[in-house]
């Protein structure tokens, strides 16, 4: 069939442009007067770039070389943003440490990352000191504090010259690594190259700016992350916001009142978070306080329409972005020109370059191809399982709507097979959350001799001390059965009312913990409907 032709007479000096994170900064500082706001700091983009160069100089002076891994343990800050650029731009690897893991897991991830150097916020100094003896690869560390305390990040940056010369290298060089936070086994390490992050940034920037009004991000917006920077590059938004020269606000450790105060003070117009944080923001606001205009992309877990509607009443424009640790993360984004809430709660439309396909032979699992998906985990066997057949296996069951949007039906492992029917735990949860008195809901499947599996429900009351009326819950779900929206098999016999739902370090409901609890003491608190 012939061979595609490659240019045979390139200029000897032609610049073979590698897709490196450095190049996202090509022209931004000259084009913007916006600031990076973080704690007591307000930095221009010129200052940001100067500090990125100083940080690279400092790390280089401390012996960090291209190919080395540098671990960062911090809350969201301008310092973290500087690490996002400086460390990969040196040719080193940025390991973003999930500081919400257990000490043992943090030690595990640091060890597996092979980090030789660490930058850690003062809050994590005791932890870091405790585990460092078990991390022989670590050759040095710099503490991070808000003030320019001696020998800490700010003082050292101020005292270091911006003399590092960034050079080009292979765009497939690893820029970042971090660990997934699955609920089974040890966290798994994922890897992203410069090329992948640059392409993710371009495709995401193009997607967000083409969203309907109030559902995207454009030049002129003010950005504040509410998904931590240790979690999948804060969904890649710091790279997008920096490339566009936007005003950025980094809120430190998340506290709902402080997030709301920063939003107000700095006129934040765009953020992203998991449903749990959205719930906390809604609970933390003053009665009747409007939070808008504020576009908030929701991911990590399903966005229940009831929650989205409550957010809308508070002035927030919420919509779903879909992705996972393995996918960079963004592969799809909801949109609805008319603002239809059900549409905005779908995983949405695959973004440019993303191929998505639903594999009927594997229970409807969503399979993906995109230029920014991790090419593997640390382990070859796990890598091969992830990419079996040349498609990334999401572990999510999905369906495609007539307009091309994807709906996530459930996690493959959470789907319940009962009475010969497949029932989506997410579908029951969303319907429960629409019922009066229910703030949150989780469904798990438990083995059953007669039906194969049966759904079991856990709910959190909307108001403390006012458990929902179980008769109304049953009636409410039955109405959906009568209307043909839900299978009769999906009505759980057992509903447990909990004070809170157990959650993973990134805010997802920990269904593994619920299963464990069910096997032990929780049955004592059972209310059967």
Catalytic residues, by residue number, are: 180, 326, 417, 422
Applying CB under 8 A, among 131, 229, 243, 333 the residue interacting with its own copies is 243
> Exposed/middle/buried for 374, CB within 10 Å: 0-12, 13-18, 19+?
buried
Choice between 198 and 444, CB closer to its own copies? 198
Q: How many amino acids of this chain bind its own copies (CB under 8 A)?
A: 84
Applying CB under 8 A, among 125, 127, 155, 173 the residue interacting with its own copies is 173
Residue 93 touching its own copies (CB under 8 A): yes
Q: Map the footprint of its own copies across residues 31-90, applying CB under 8 A.
A: 31-32, 65-68
How many whole angstroms separate alpha carbon 333 and alpha carbon 356? 13
Q: Map the footprint of its own copies across residues 453-512, applying CB under 8 A.
A: none
Closest distance of CB 401 from its own copies, Å: 9
Q: Map the footprint of its own copies across residues 176-235, applying CB under 8 A.
A: 191, 193, 198-199, 202-203, 205-206, 209-212, 218-220
> Exposed/middle/buried for 122, CB within 10 Å: 0-12, 13-18, 19+?
middle
Full DSSP string of 71-97: EEE--B-HHHHHHHHHHHHTT-EEEE-
Q: Map the footprint of its own copies across residues 7-26, applying CB under 8 A.
A: 7, 9-17, 19, 23-24, 26
Q: Map the footprint of its own copies across residues 116-145, applying CB under 8 A.
A: none
Q: Which H or E element spans position 400?
A: strand 392-400
Choice between 350 and 364, CB closer to its own copies? 350
Q: Map the footprint of its own copies across residues 356-415, applying CB under 8 A.
A: 356, 369-371, 373, 375-380, 383-384, 386-392, 400, 403-405
Choice between 91 and 305, CB closer to its own copies? 91
**Alpha helical stretches, state H, 210-288:** 237-244, 256-266, 275-284
Of residues 361, 368, 456, the one with CA closest to residue 408: 368
Closest distance of CB 33 from its own copies, Å: 8
How many whole angstroms separate alpha carbon 437 and alpha carbon 433? 8
Closest distance of CB 179 from its own copies, Å: 15
Q: Map the footprint of its own copies across residues 269-308, applying CB under 8 A.
A: none
Contacts with 248 (C-beta within 8 Å, 6 or more apart), sequence order: 34, 35, 36, 37, 81, 222, 223, 224, 238, 241, 242
Cis peptide before 81 (omega within 30 of 0): no
Choice between 241 and 314, CB closer to its own copies? 241
Applying CB under 8 A, among 134, 163, 172, 290 the residue interacting with its own copies is 172
Residue 348 · residue 406 · CB < 8 Å:
yes
Applying CB under 8 A, among 166, 169, 422, 451 the residue interacting with its own copies is 169
Return the beta strands (E) in 429-502 as ranges.
Answer: 438-448, 452-461, 494-498
Choice between 214 and 467, CB closer to its own copies? 214
Closest distance of CB 120 from its own copies, Å: 22
Closest distance of CB 134 from its own copies, Å: 23
Choice between 2 and 484, CB closer to its own copies? 2
* Alpha carbon 373 to chain centroid, angstroms: 14
- CA-based angle 68:169:118, to the nearest 5? 20
Closest distance of CB 411 from its own copies, Å: 21
Radius of gyration of the chain (CA): 24
Residue 338 touching its own copies (CB under 8 A): no
End-to-end CA distance of the chain: 67
Choice between 367 and 486, CB closer to its own copies? 367
Closest distance of CB 217 from its own copies, Å: 9
């Amino acid at each position: 069939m012939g061979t595609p032709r490659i240019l045979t007479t390139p200029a000897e000096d032609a610049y073979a442009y590698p897709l490196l994170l450095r190049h996202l900064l090509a022209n931004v500082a000259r084009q913007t007067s916006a600031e990076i706001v973080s704690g007591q700091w307000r930095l221009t983009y010129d200052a940001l770039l100067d500090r990125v160069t100083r940080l690279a100089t400092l790390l280089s002076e401390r012996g960090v070389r291209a190919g080395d891994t540098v671990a960062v343990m911090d809350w969201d800050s301008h310092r973290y943003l500087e690490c996002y650029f400086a460390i990969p731009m040196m040719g080193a690897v940025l390991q973003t440490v999930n500081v919400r893991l257990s000490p043992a897991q943090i030690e595990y991830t640091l060890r597996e990352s092979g980090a030789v150097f660490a930058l850690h916020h003062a809050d994590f100094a005791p932890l870091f000191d405790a585990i460092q003896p078990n991390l022989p690869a670590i050759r040095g560390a710099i503490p991070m504090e808000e003030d320019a305390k001696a020998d800490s990040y700010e003082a050292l940056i101020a005292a270091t010259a911006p003399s590092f010369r960034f050079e080009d290298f292979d765009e497939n060089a690893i820029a970042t690594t971090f660990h997934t936070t699955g609920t089974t086994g040890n966290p798994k390490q994922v890897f992203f190259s410069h090329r992948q992050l640059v392409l993710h940034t371009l495709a995401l920037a193009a997607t967000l700016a083409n969203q309907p009004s109030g559902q995207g991000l454009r030049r002129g917006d003010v950005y504040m992350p509410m998904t931590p920077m240790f979690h999948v590059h804060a969904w890649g938004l710091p790279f997008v916001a920096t490339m566009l020269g936007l005003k950025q606000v980094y809120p430190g450790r998340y506290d709902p009142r402080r997030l709301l105060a920063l939003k107000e003070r700095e006129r934040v117009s765009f953020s992203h978070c998991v449903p749990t944080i959205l719930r906390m923001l809604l609970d933390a606001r003053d009665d009747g306080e409007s939070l808008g205009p504020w576009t908030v992309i929701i991911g990590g877990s399903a966005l229940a329409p009831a929650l989205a509607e409550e957010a809308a009443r508070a002035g927030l424009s919420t919509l779903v972005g879909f992705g996972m640790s393995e996918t960079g993360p963004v592969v799809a984004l909801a949109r609805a020109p008319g603002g239809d809430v059900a549409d905005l709660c779908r995983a949405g439309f695959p973004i440019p370059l993303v191929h998505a396909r639903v594999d009927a032979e594997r229970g409807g699992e969503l399979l993906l191809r995109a230029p920014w998906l991790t090419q593997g985990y640390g382990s070859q066997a796990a890598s091969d399982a992830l990419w079996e057949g040349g498609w990334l296996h999401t572990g999510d069951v999905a369906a495609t709507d007539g307009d091309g949007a994807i709906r996530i039906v459930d996690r493959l492992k959470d789907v319940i097979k009962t009475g010969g029917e497949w029932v989506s735990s997410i579908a029951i949860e969303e319907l429960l959350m629409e019922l009066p008195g229910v703030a949150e809901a989780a469904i798990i499947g438990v083995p059953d001799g007669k039906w194969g599996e049966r759904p079991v429900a856990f709910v959190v009351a909307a108001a403390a001390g006012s458990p929902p009326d179980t008769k109304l819950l049953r009636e409410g779900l039955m109405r959906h059965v009568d209307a043909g929206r839900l299978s009769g098999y999906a009505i759980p016999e057992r509903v447990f009312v909990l004070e809170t739902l157990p959650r993973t370090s990134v805010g997802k409901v920990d269904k593994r913990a619920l299963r464990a609890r069910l096997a032990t003491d929780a049955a004592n608190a059972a209310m059967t409907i």
